[in-house]
Structure 1
Amino acid sequence: MINTIRFKVTACLVLGLFLTGCASTKTNNQNGPYDPLEPMNRAVFNFNEMVYDNVFDPVARGYKKVTPDPIELVVGNFFSNLNDVVVITNSVLQLNYKSALASSTRLLINTTFGIFGLIDIASDISAASDINLNKRNEDFGQTLGHYGVASGPYIVLPFLGPSSARDTFGIAVDGFFMDPVTQGVTGVFMKDVAYLNTTALRLPVAAARTINARAQFLDDDKTLEEAALDKYEFTRDAYLQRRTSLVNNSSEAK
């Protein structure tokens, strides 16, 4: 039910904004961020900040307080390992077979010798040799960008934060078809394993991933609060610049 509602909301955003923004985005980006929805975006941004401050951040701080650093590390490794499924799929869609092979090898090594991804052995191999099995960053928004789809207008999504019309569609595709934690329309990766393909399992795992991700961001968010004159503008500009680097496969962004 939750997945269905989220899909409908995402679809409405995309249908209303994606087609209107794509044609003119590249021209507008030459003169600055393309943010025609800024009043609405700022309202959603302020709502998100309120939710983060009063709900997510207290939970994340509690998680960090009671969780030893080594446990935090292995939890982060576990979710990073699951994300490699998304990376591999989008690497193949982009015909980037080098990245797909490296990420597949990484997933295999970490899932087996790394005990289901709890230990990031692949990165240790990379550090000790010339074999590059470091973590890649690929998603369906980048895949669309790879094939020339412009980002469209900047959008701030409730709870999820910075995005664009193109990346919102990418989030929906990754979430419903590729991500082992959240994909619930096709059951591609777990359709034959009934007990893994249930909301009762996926929901707490997704919640744990969200808490862990927010916990890793707490220090950065505090620094951003202190440094940025306008947190909304800083977040928007940083997001759009990073997404451009990722689509262009800039080495520093990967």
Structure 2
Amino acid sequence: MKILGINAFGHDTSAALVIDGKLIAAVEEERLNREKSTRAFPHLSIEYCLKEANIEFEDVDYITYAYQPYLWLTHRFLYHQLRFFPQALGELKYVKRMISKFMFLKSNIQKELKTNKPIILLKHHDAHMGSTFLVSPFEEAAILTLDGLGEYETSVQAVGKGTSIKRLDHILFPNSLGSMYACISHFVGYTAELDEGKVMGLAAYGDASEYYNDFKKLVKLKKDGTFQLDLSYFEYHKKEIPG
């Protein structure tokens, strides 16, 4: 079975090809079009993966995408708007853009690729877990994902065994270490969803003890190993971070 995975309609677009359970090729579009953090549809990445496998696009059985938009709509948007109304109304521009991009996700992909091949939409954090554990040398492992936001999850804890992954727990937006990092990157003068790596690199030259107590106010580590943010310091759950 030949499965083509794509990341599109957002930053750092990419593609990967799996054949009979084995990863054959994977590449980010920026490596090929030379545009940092490109948002271009990954046509070049798809072409590269197919060439590496010496197959044609017609040979692909399934296309996968790591996002389930209706989960985002029901859990992240509707629940979040009700919970933080009216402050979250500042997100409406972001919400409108997300709806235009993702509510017709399958048809948009088919239109770009000029195909009617079946498209499977995966939960975002399931794709994160699969892309690490299933290509690792481990038969069994603990798995932890952390990012800004999937559909509504910001972290998932799971156990991988063989070719299966069992979820144990998750953390929901707006408690998000990724969003916190993006906010701090923006606060010190960098661009969110682009320059976090620069901030991470610069951190090695700083004195962690100087701001340790400040960060303890921002993030509370709970006894069960999860975390909770003090949202009074942030606005990312009320309006989009400039980026």
Bin the TM-score by the shorter chain.
under 0.3
TM-score norm. by structure 2 comes to 0.26
TM-score norm. by structure 1 comes to 0.25
User: Going by fraction, where is helix more abundant, 1 or 2?
Assistant: 1
Larger RCO: 1 or 2 (CA < 8 Å, sep 6+): 1
